[in-house]
Structure 1
Amino acid sequence: MHTSPYVKRPGRITRRVVNPLIAFLTRRGLSVWGSRMLAVRGRTTGEWRTTPVNLLTVDGRHYLVAPRGHVQWTRNMRAAGGGRLLLGKTSQDFVAEEVPDEEKPALLRAYLKRWKAEVGVFFRGVGPDSPEEDLRRIAPDHPVFRITLAAA
């Protein structure tokens, strides 16, 4: 997997207001446009770490896209190979497989169609209607994981 150094750190409002609000609602079982809490074990501590994510579904398959780039949860996911998705009191274990860059353009397009208003700024001007070559250019900057939910 190609690893680029791209990381877009959250600003103060996102860190102190937006993410805590989404996390609060999601923990209480209210999904905001597909939001879930991702729980993944830390790659050095082994402790569970949580962060709000958007669960993308394309052709019946589930994906997690990292709009902010190669952030801590993506590094932990590579090491752990899976985690849990939480919505209220519901917890779903899953295994994760990182999607190669050449398969990402259609998934990034679908993600941007759904959440551009929320995350578009992290894609440096590339949107759901951008040419394929623009999506290919940014693909290495945005990890995508195909997740397979464990049988309940």
Structure 2
Amino acid sequence: MSTHVKKPGWFTVNVFNRTVAWLTRRGLSVWGSRVLAVRGRKSGQWRTTPVNLLTVDGRHYLVAPRGHVQWTHNMRAAGGGELHLGKNVDVFTATEVSDDDKVPLLRAYLKRWKAEVGVFFNGVGPDSPDTDLRRIAPDHPVFQVTIKS
């Protein structure tokens, strides 16, 4: 498994993520944003971070543009979590997508959010060949989200 991680800088942690999370917690989605809550794999405490919820063919996905970060490790351990948008909370289970199945999902993600996250994909964009998307697939975990009714 890849150990690729792009740690966020000060501005992202202290300004951008906090602003997006603040707006999302108040019910204003910024380009599909949600606040992901997942239990920590060691502490059992809820951990939160803003994420972009991708929808492709009626299915929902979470993509980790920064790689194998803490929320991805926690998601693997917990198998699901919660997505918050204002007062709405969707409880979900998550299944990790195999590298071979990520190409169309990474393409769709980059098509929608390249301006925001493109820098984390090492020059690969929505118009790149499948071979390039397949090459970077191990560096970017993707989880299919199934919202419980």
- When the two structures are superposed, what TM-score results if normalisation uses the length of structure 2? 0.99
Letter in 2 for 1:145: F
- Cα deviation, 1:38-79, whole Å, max 9, x if unaligned, reads 000000010000000000000000000000000000000000
What is the match of residue 145 of structure 2? Answer: 147
Q: Which runs of 4+ in 1 moved over 3 A?
A: none
What is the match of residue 80 of structure 1? Answer: 78
Q: In the comparison of the two structures, how many residue pairs are matched?
A: 149
Structure 2: gaps of 5 or more residues = none
For residues 31-110 of structure 1, the aligned pairs below 5 Å read 31-110=29-108
Quote the Cα distance in structure 2 between the aligned partners of 1:90 and 1:8.
Answer: 30
Quote the Cα distance in structure 2 between the aligned partners of 1:141 and 1:27.
Answer: 29
Quote the Cα distance in structure 1 between the aligned partners of 2:61 and 2:21.
Answer: 19
SS in 1 for 2:132: helix
- When the two structures are superposed, what TM-score results if normalisation uses the length of structure 1? 0.97
Quote the Cα distance in structure 2 between the aligned partners of 1:61 and 1:92.
Answer: 14
Percent sequence identity over matched residues? 74
Structure 1: gaps of 5 or more residues = none
Structure 1 residue 4 corresponds to structure 2 residue 2: yes
Quote the Cα distance in structure 2 between the aligned partners of 1:94 and 1:16.
Answer: 28
Letter in 1 for 2:128: S
What is the match of residue 21 of structure 2? Answer: 23
